[in-house]
């Protein structure tokens, strides 16, 4: 049961909507070419931080990374919501918070959650099915 909770938290953290619609999000801040560049840098950052999290995982442990990364995710999402709600011209700040959200996710919920699931569940394929069903659901709902 805990494996499914981790999978759901992983998928509903907002990362899928950000990755799937990054270009459209950044087009609200900049022109089309710059939005495409931001999207490229977002993907590059995700790969780099995910590799970095592998090294940090061995050094600091799963608990520390999960607490740090989840705190970054919550802070960045809450801050982005507040900035967008209270400050009408805060699009650049919201873009930076999107990058920060990706860093938090790539440090914690992304890589560490699957390590947890692999250790606590015998049949990890059920969790993978849940992850993909939720990914498809998020892609259909967030249009």
Beta-carbon contacts of 71 under 8 Å, excluding residues fewer than 6 positions away, are 104
pLDDT band at 35 (very low <50, low <70, confident <90, very high): confident
pLDDT band at 140 (very low <50, low <70, confident <90, very high): confident
pLDDT band at 63 (very low <50, low <70, confident <90, very high): confident
**pLDDT score of 79:** 92
Number of independent structural domains in the chain: 1
> Across residues 115-132, what is the average pLDDT?
76
> Across residues 114-137, what is the average pLDDT?
77
| Enclosing domain of residue 116 | 2-141
Alpha-carbon distances of 86 from 80, 89, 90, 107, rounded to whole Å: 10, 9, 9, 29
pLDDT band at 143 (very low <50, low <70, confident <90, very high): low
pTM check: above 0.75: yes
Ranges of beta strands (E only) in 52-101 are none
pLDDT band at 31 (very low <50, low <70, confident <90, very high): confident
**CATH code of residue 52:** 1.20.1250.20
């Amino acid at each position: 049961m805990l494996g499914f909770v981790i999978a759901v938290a992983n998928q509903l953290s907002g990362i899928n909507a950000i990755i799937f619609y990054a270009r459209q999000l950044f087009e609200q801040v900049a022109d089309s070419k710059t939005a495409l560049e931001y999207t490229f840098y977002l993907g590059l950052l995700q790969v780099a931080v995910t590799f970095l999290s592998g090294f940090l995982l061995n050094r600091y442990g799963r608990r520390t990374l999960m607490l740090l990364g989840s705190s970054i995710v919550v802070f960045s999402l809450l801050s982005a919501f507040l900035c967008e709600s209270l400050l009408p011209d805060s699009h650049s700040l919201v873009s930076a918070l999107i990058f920060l959200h990706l860093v938090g996710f790539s440090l914690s919920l992304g890589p560490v959650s699957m390590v947890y699931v692999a250790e606590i569940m015998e049949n990890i394929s059920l969790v993978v099915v849940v992850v993909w069903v939720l990914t498809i659901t998020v892609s259909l709902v967030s249009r």
